[in-house]
Amino acid sequence: MPPKVKTSAEKQAVRTAIMDAARELFIHQGVEAVTMRAVAQQVGYSATSLYLYFSDKDQLLRAVVDADVIKLAQSLKSTLSISDPLQRFLQFGQHYVQFALTNPNHYRMMFMTQHLPCDPAFSSIEQNNHEQDAYSQLIDVVTSAWHAGVFKPTLTDPVLIAQTVWAAMHGLCALQINLADDAWINWRPLEARMQAMVSMCMHGLMKETTHE
């Protein structure tokens, strides 16, 4: 049984502990295999106690994913104040990779673990709110750079650009998180791989500058 909780801060601490335990189980065992009883055992509570905080596993799963999405958005928000569109775009990407590698379990939970689709009807995330929605941040950062004429004129869809860049960043992060210690692969240094990815992406994206 959990300790008797009196204050809202204590209740939030218990809720966070439950979510942290659930995240670990979801990642390592798969969402389908995890039960509320297993989460309760992980934190030393009774299954009945968990239902005081989450009505069922779907609600718990949604809470974990939403919390991680907000955490990502908060970590990226500082880049939005960068005035130069190109530098904002580049810094956004660097912060994204830094978040993923600093918080690998949060990243796994969001993007590398099968879970319920993000349904606005059930999610606590407010779409297009830059305090909570990292995807809308990405779209706006790329769209601003597109409007500023940073990209090649043949690239006419900023959303497509954003989704392609996201795929590149995710690939780097996922490989590093899952396979960094794999002796089968003779990895080049992470920094070198990051710089090569940025260089190749920008070569394909940026318009050529003319020198008079």
User: Which CATH number goes with the domain that contains 124?
Assistant: 1.10.357.10
pLDDT in tens, 81-138: 999 999 999 999 999 999 999 999 999 999 998 876 666 666 677 787 888 999 999 9
Average pLDDT over residues 147-175: 96
104 and 47 housed in the same domain: no
192 and 153 housed in the same domain: yes
Task: Residue 92: name the closest of 108, 106, 75 by CA.
Answer: 75
40 and 122 housed in the same domain: no
Q: What was the pLDDT predicted at 211?
A: 46
CA dist 86 and 103 (Å) reads 26
Residue 19 has pLDDT above 60, yes or no: yes
Report field, pTM of the whole predicted structure over 0.75: yes
Q: What was the pLDDT predicted at 129?
A: 83
Domain span at 153: 65-205
